[in-house]
């Protein structure tokens, strides 16, 4: 596994294992344990996924030392605001069964965002969180929130793949050395992406599959990726991307696939209304 260095001089595995939409009470436990056995050392969960406890159990039962595993989790909207966020952080720590979390993100850009951010900053000072970051933040939302932050985020986790390259956002994040982290790196199974002629031709050339070409491209772009699969063969394949290198011309060919669009617009008022209404606990 290769690692990237973040703007606070900590390191993060270049490819992580995402557990979004994998149920708790067994499935996430099994998937996380399988991922760790396959060689992953970064597990990405969230309070909103409601499977932090399975992740924690799998990490404990893996036999791998805690300091060799990078854990990411995220605070959900109902725990935003300063006081609520302090409780949300403690809840994540308890469910994960750890005394620190490597990276903790604000999951969605709504509500009392800066109140929650202040709680995250204090948790860093207390040693409960090593690094903090943001998620689903656009350029406009960044400009709205950035002046209320004392600690800079280390990552911005957003939709990112060859069809959704976030070029303007990357330029702005680069000014602050904030690294992008990709959700839906494989387009959530987008057939048009996985069967794209450019990507397939490269897969044939390097004796890899389409997903491996995409993940290698993301890696060479300097972006962290979080592929998800419960298939052990695909799990292993998604981190088998460090034995070849795409040329500059090949990187450029994939860059040309950008549509400038994604499946989720954080600035859409309908998304804010829908997500603000979702509760993950009483």
Are the beta carbons of 75 and 89 closer than 8 angstroms? Answer: yes
Between the CA of residue 254 and those of 182, 198, 210, 218, what are the distances in Å?
Answer: 16, 7, 12, 10
219 counts as catalytic:
no
Are the beta carbons of 130 and 159 closer than 8 angstroms? Answer: no
Phi, psi of 45 (to 5 degrees): -125, -170
C-alpha span between 197 and 200 (Å, rounded): 5
Among residues 29, 40, 49, 184, the one annotated as catalytic is 49
Which residues participate in catalysis according to the annotation?
A: 49
């Amino acid at each position: 596994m290769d690692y990237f260095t973040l703007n606070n001089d900590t390191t993060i595995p270049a490819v992580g294992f995402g557990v979004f939409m994998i149920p708790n009470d067994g499935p996430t436990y099994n998937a996380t344990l399988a991922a760790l056995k396959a060689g992953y050392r970064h597990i990405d969960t969230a309070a909103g996924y409601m499977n932090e406890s399975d992740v924690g159990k799998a990490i404990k039962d893996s036999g791998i030392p805690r300091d060799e595993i990078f854990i990411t989790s995220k605070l959900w909207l109902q725990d935003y605001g300063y006081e609520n966020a302090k409780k949300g952080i403690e809840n994540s720590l308890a469910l994960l069964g750890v005394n620190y979390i490597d990276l903790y993100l604000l999951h969605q850009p709504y509500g009392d965002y800066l109140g929650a951010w202040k709680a995250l900053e204090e948790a860093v000072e207390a040693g409960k969180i090593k690094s903090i970051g943001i998620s689903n933040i656009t350029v406009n939302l960044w400009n709205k929130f950035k002046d209320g932050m004392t600690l800079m985020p280390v990552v911005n986790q957003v939709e990112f793949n060859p069809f959704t390259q976030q070029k303007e956002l990357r330029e702005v994040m680069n000014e602050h050395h904030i690294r992008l982290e990709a959700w839906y790196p494989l387009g959530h199974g987008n057939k048009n992406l996985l069967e794209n002629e450019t990507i397939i031709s490269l897969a044939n050339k390097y004796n890899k599959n389409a997903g491996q070409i995409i993940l290698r491209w993301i890696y060479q772009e300097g972006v962290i990726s979080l592929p998800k699969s419960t298939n052990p063969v695909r799990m292993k394949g998604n981190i088998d991307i460090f034995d070849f290198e795409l040329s500059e011309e090949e990187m450029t060919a994939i860059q040309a696939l950008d549509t400038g669009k994604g499946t989720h617009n954080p600035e859409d008022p309908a998304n804010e209304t829908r997500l603000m209404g979702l509760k993950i606990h009483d």
